[in-house]
Amino acid sequence: AQKITQTQPGMFVQEKEAVTLDCTYDTSDPSYGLFWYKQPSSGEMIFLIYQGSYDQQNATEGRYSLNFQKARKSANLVISASQLGDSAMYFCARLIQGAQKLVFGQGTRLTINP
Amino acid sequence: DGGITQSPKYLFRKEGQNVTLSCEQNLNHDAMYWYRQDPGQGLRLIYYSQIVNDFQKGDIAEGYSVSREKKESFPLTVTSAQKNPTAFYLCASSHRPQPGPTPYEQYFGPGTRLTVT
């Protein structure tokens, strides 16, 4: 099964703290990609960061970084110095090679408290 | 500005009626996708198209139909055969997938919230 698991339905964090959102995946493909998207209350999906299975280093994009542990099949998103505007749903997704379609986890609702 | 347009943002229909959701992109992307999102859930793929005049079923295609007559447009019709059509529908596009490990990011439109009563 090509399953993506996000075990945290909701997270509450104080502003300026770092937060880690968990994502594990199930695959037997030798090559794959993992995406994180942010979905604010308005509904649009905003691309945050991508990690390829053969990438030598963990991906980083500004305040976002990926803690990629290939042997554990996990790709956790780390947001440093959280801001009120980070409050949103966050989705982890895996790209199915060949078909190039995304399979999404159920998401984590992150709330940043002032 | 380049982007993806979905209209309308909110759509209301009576049960038994077909309804077509619009998706237009000016990003010059070859590939386009339709996803469905139910409350508290992730996105599920309905249909996708990697090139004009060609499309494939996704994981939940039953009760839906699409066409891809133009590169810029990928309309989705929710037919009366769809048993539970009320949901949030998101359209996305990307460059055409190529063999190899490097994927292309999918860009999403703002979505259409469909309510069928």
Asked if A106 and B40 come within 8 Å (Cβ–Cβ), the reply is yes
Q: Which two tokens stand for residue A98?
A: 């060949």
Q: How far is B79 from chain A (nearest CA, A)?
A: 23
Residue A28 has pLDDT above 70, yes or no: yes
Q: What is the pLDDT of chain A when averaged over all its residues?
A: 92
> Is A31's Cβ below 8 Å from some Cβ in B?
yes
Cα-flanking dihedrals φ and ψ of residue B116, to 5°?
-115, 125
Per-residue pLDDT 10s for chain B (117 aa) are 679 999 899 999 999 999 999 999 999 999 999 999 998 888 999 999 999 999 999 999 999 999 999 999 999 999 988 889 999 999 999 887 666 556 678 899 999 999 999
Q: Which two tokens stand for residue A108?
A: 């984590």
Task: Please name the helix (run of DSSP H) or strand (run of DSSP E) that holds residue B79, with its range, or none.
Answer: none
Pairing of strands B10-13, B112-116: parallel
Residue A32 has pLDDT above 90, yes or no: no
Asked if A43 and B111 come within 8 Å (Cβ–Cβ), the reply is yes
Residue A99 has pLDDT above 70, yes or no: no
> Is B110's Cβ below 8 Å from some Cβ in A?
yes
- Whether residue B90 contacts residue B114, with contact meaning beta carbons closer than 8 Å, is answered with no
